Amino acid sequence: MTIPIGGHGLSCLRGDDYAAIPLWMQDAADSIDSSLSEGRQLLDSYRNRPWYETVNNSSIPVNNLSGYLLPEGAVGEVAPRSGPWTTFSNGLIDNTSNGSLPAGLYLAGSSVTWTVATPNNNTLRTLEVFGLNRINGNVSINVTYDILFQNQTLEASNGLNSLNVTGYIMSDGTLAQIVAAFYHSNTSSDLVVAAGNWRLWLMYMGSGLVI
């Protein structure tokens, strides 16, 4: 009868177990293989962290309010929505209609560059990323919004015209999707975001278990 050793399924033989050596070697080999393979899966997962990114693939005018929760009087646009978006991913799914993202720690960000027909030295441009939460991933239950991070710049006549925002998100399993909103309050200054100039991305960092 063998003696258990350690916590990875290994054992050693007693003096009268000589006849069981082949069985012991097979058992030891399988235990070593199982423990190492489990560790390698975790390492492979860490080496190839899931992410997704969505980019607009045609021009977007920013003068129509999307219907999402934005400051009253603002005109804006939301990414992604039905329309000209191309999504790339490595195992992370942008749940636009159902489901939730795995619980854990994420890094998210967005970047937008625009042109403006009539720049004026007034009003703010705002880029923000917010999360849509669905209880148990159920799209029919009321969706809640969490504004996660935001960046702003003043509209100026100097032509500098980009915003970038990044931040961490800790999800308890109810986060279904991240969304970026870009908006301004000067309805006399139509903005246009050319193709390829608005990106929204999300990267999974880890389970981030908190006790």
Partner 1 sequence: MPGSTDNLAIGYPCVGEPVTSATFSEFATDVESALSSTWTVADSALKPPTARVSRYFITAQTINAGVVTTISFEDELYDRGSFWNPASPTLITLPVTGTYLVTTRIHRSNQAGTLTGIKSSILLAGSTIAASSDNNIISGETGTSITCAAIVHATAGQTMTITGLFAGTVTIMVEGFFDITLISTT
| Min dist. Cβ of residue 154 to partner 1 (A) | 4
Are 62 and 184 in contact, with CB atoms under 8 Å apart? yes
Residue 186 engages partner 1 in binding (rule: CB under 8 A): no
Within 10 A of 140 (CB to CB), how many other CB atoms are there?
8
Nearer to partner 1, 37 or 97 (CB): 37
Reduced to 3 states, what is the DSSP secondary structure of residue 163? strand
In this chain, which of 14, 46, 83, 195 binds partner 1, going by CB under 8 A? Answer: 46
| Min dist. Cβ of residue 192 to partner 1 (A) | 16
Distance CA 71, CA 181 (A): 11
Burial 62-94 (b: 16+ CB within 10 A, else e): beebbeeebeeebbbbbbbeeeebeeeeeebeb
Reduced to 3 states, what is the DSSP secondary structure of residue 93? coil
In this chain, which of 132, 148, 163, 175 binds partner 1, going by CB under 8 A? Answer: 163
| Min dist. Cβ of residue 20 to partner 1 (A) | 9
In this chain, which of 59, 164, 187, 207 binds partner 1, going by CB under 8 A? Answer: 164
Distance CA 191, CA 194 (A): 10
With the CA atoms of 74, 68, 200 and 172 taken in that order, what torsion angle do they form, in degrees rounded to the nearest 10?
130
Stretch that binds partner 1, among 44-52, 71-79, 140-148, 175-183 (CB under 8 A): 44-52
With the CA atoms of 42, 45, 46 and 49 taken in that order, what torsion angle do they form, in degrees rounded to the nearest 10?
-160
Contact string 49-78 vs partner 1 (x = CB under 8 A): xxx-x-------------------------
In this chain, which of 30, 141, 145, 187 binds partner 1, going by CB under 8 A? Answer: 30
* Residues binding partner 1 (CB under 8 A): 21-23, 25-26, 28-30, 32-33, 36-37, 39-40, 43-44, 46-51, 53, 88, 90, 107, 109, 111, 113, 151-156, 158-164, 166, 197, 199, 201, 203
